[in-house]
Amino acid sequence: MPPDRNHNDSGLEAREVSKYFGDFPALKRVTLRIAAGECALIYGANGAGKTTLLRVLASLTEPSAGEIWLGGRKVDRRTVALKSRVGFVSHATFLYGDLTVEENLVLAAKLFGLSSVRSRVSAVIETFGLVDRARQSVRSLSRGLQQRATLARAMLHEPDFLLLDEPFTGLDSTAVASLEALLRRLPSQGKAVAFSTHNFAQGISIAHRLVAVERGRVSYDGPVASAPAEYSLRAPEAEVARS
């Protein structure tokens, strides 16, 4: 596959991506590019298409139409190796309940083909404050601790593109603070981050870029600073009040 000359090689892009579940359109011709050094907040109401967008970018979901490009190459069945450049945190933890945190991480490290499995695993265990829990089975952990392990799993192979779907779910305030710090730090290390959250205020305090998704379309994509006021109005307080 020849590299695409028109685009910067370092981006993760969705080009004209649509995704239908039966007749239901989850994404409608979405074009989006996330480049190194960026931190984007994917924001939208429930069912707007945030999760599908992130899953399509992570190549977990095959788009019904359109293409995903990564580092100047079109992602398809032959580009399996590209997967190690992407990290993904989803609603599901991807962790085996019957294995310990450490075993789960060692498994993932081996699947990603890391050269120094042990040291990487102990490094992320340290980073995400799981040292005391490393030898406990995942099933015995609280949702918040499981979420930390999920984050550790996603960061294990030091992905260039980190995609996170509601990563703050279940975390306590300490963990939230350190995740926020991580998400702020990564772009300065040349990584790209895209995450979704329902807490708008928290989201824009971390991200520089806002991607608003409404009913399967990107309705705003630009700097957080120049986002129309309506987005902040719709956000968290209003939504909590409704639910």
Partner 1 sequence: MRSLEIVWTLLVKDLRIEWRQRETLASVCIFGLLVVFLCDFAFEPAGAEALRLLPGVLWIAFVFAGILGFNRSFAAERENACLEGIRLAPVEPGLIYLAKLAANFVFLAVAEVVITFAAALWYNFSFFPAFKDFVTIVFFGTLGYVAVGVTFGAVAANTRMREVMLPVLQFPVAVPIFIGAIEATSGALKGAPPNLYWSWVRLLIAFAVIFAVLSFMLFEFVLEE
Partner 2 sequence: MIQFSKMNRTSWTSVHALVTLLWILVALYLALIYAPTDVSQGNVYRIMYIHVPSGWTAFVAYLLVFLGSVGYLIRRSQTADDLACAAGEIGFIFCSCVLITGPLWAKPIWGIWWTWDPRLTLTFVLWLLFAGYLLVRGFFINPGRAALLSAVVGIVGFVDVPIDYMAIRWWRTQHPQPVIFGGPNSGLPFSMLLTLLVSFGAFLCLFFFLLRRRLSLLRMRRDLSHLRRELAED
Chain residues binding partner 1 by CB under 8 A are 58, 60-62, 77, 80-84, 86-88, 90, 92-99, 103, 107-108, 110-113, 137-138, 153
For residue 211, the cross-strand partners are 42, 221
**Which of the listed partners (partner 1, partner 2, none) does 2 bind, with a CB threshold of 5 to 8 Å by partner kind?**
none
Strands of 209-214's sheet in order across: 86-89, 161-165, 192-196, 39-43, 209-214, 217-223
**Which of the listed partners (partner 2, partner 1, none) does 197 bind, with a CB threshold of 5 to 8 Å by partner kind?**
none
237 Rama class: left (phi>0) / alpha (psi -120 to 50) / beta: alpha
Pick 17 or 108: Cβ nearer partner 1: 108
Pick 65 or 201: Cβ nearer partner 1: 65
In angstroms, give the least distance from the CB of 92 to partner 2. Answer: 15
Pick 84 or 199: Cβ nearer partner 1: 84
**Which of the listed partners (partner 2, partner 1, none) does 195 bind, with a CB threshold of 5 to 8 Å by partner kind?**
none
CB 67 within 8 A of CB 16: yes
Distance of alpha carbon 109 from alpha carbon 89, whole angstroms: 15
In angstroms, give the least distance from the CB of 104 to partner 1. Answer: 9
**Which of the listed partners (partner 1, partner 2, none) does 137 bind, with a CB threshold of 5 to 8 Å by partner kind?**
partner 1
Pick 52 or 197: Cβ nearer partner 1: 52
Pick 20 or 220: Cβ nearer partner 1: 20
**Which of the listed partners (partner 1, partner 2, none) does 25 bind, with a CB threshold of 5 to 8 Å by partner kind?**
partner 2
Q: Which of 7, 10, 20, 127 binds partner 2 (CB under 8 A)?
A: 20
2 Rama class: left (phi>0) / alpha (psi -120 to 50) / beta: beta
Tokens of 38: 């960026």
Candidates 4-12, 19-27, 79-87, 124-132: pick the segment binding partner 2 (CB under 8 A).
Answer: 19-27
Pick 93 or 196: Cβ nearer partner 1: 93
The reply to whether 64 sits near partner 2 by the rule CB under 8 A is yes
Residues that bind partner 2 (CB under 8 A): 20-23, 25, 28-29, 64
